[in-house]
Amino acid sequence: MRCLALLFCALLLGITAAAHADSLADLRRPSSTIPGCVNDWWPLGTGSGMTKPTCEGKAALAEWNEHVAAVNAARDTLANASSWPKKAAPLAVVDALRACAAEADAMTRLYHPTPAAPHDLAVVLMWMRPWFESAKLPIPDTIGDGFRTLAAALAKPGLRRRERNSLYNQAAVFATHESELAAELGSDVERQTDNAVRAAHFAALQAAVAAENGHPQRGAGAAIAAAAGPDHPAIARRQTAQLAQSLAAHPNQGRYQARTRRALATIPDALIGITAMALILVVVGFRRLVDRLGIRGAVGFSLLLLITLPASWLPLALLHAVTGWPDGWLVWLLWPGLFVALLALGPRLLPGRLRGGWAVLFGPAPQTTHGSILAGRARPPFAGISNPRRRPTPLRLATCRAAAAVFIMTATY
Enter the DSSP assignment of 25: G
Cis peptide before 326 (omega within 30 of 0): yes
Mean pLDDT of the chain: 81
Residue 146's nearest CA partner among 157, 162, 160, 130 is 130
Q: Looking at 76-85, 110-119, 158-167, which range is the least confident one? A: 110-119
Q: What integer pLDDT is reported at residue 313 of this predicted model? A: 93
| Cα–Cα distance measured from residue 1 to residue 350, given in angstroms and rounded to the nearest whole number | 8
Examine the pLDDT at 30 and tell me if it is beyond 60. Answer: yes
Q: What is the pLDDT of residues 42-74, one digit of tens each?
A: 766 666 666 789 999 999 999 999 999 999 999
The H or E element spanning position 223 is: helix 220-228
For the chain, what are the domain ranges? 25-49+191-253, 56-190, 261-365+391-412
| Confidence tier at 102 by pLDDT (50, 70, 90) | very high
CA 225 to chain centre: 20
Is this model's pTM higher than 0.85 or not?
A: no
Residue 318's nearest CA partner among 260, 273, 254 is 260
| Cα–Cα distance measured from residue 63 to residue 375, given in angstroms and rounded to the nearest whole number | 96
| Cα–Cα distance measured from residue 228 to residue 216, given in angstroms and rounded to the nearest whole number | 20
Enter the DSSP assignment of 383: T
CA 30 to chain centre: 13
Q: What is the mean pLDDT of residues 112-120?
A: 62
- CB-based burial of residue 228 (10 Å sphere; 0-12 exposed, 13-18 middle, 19+ buried)? buried
Q: What is the mean pLDDT of residues 35-41?
A: 86
Q: What integer pLDDT is reported at residue 385 of this predicted model? A: 47
| Cα–Cα distance measured from residue 90 to residue 72, given in angstroms and rounded to the nearest whole number | 19
> Which phi and psi (to 5°) does residue 358 adopt?
-60, -40
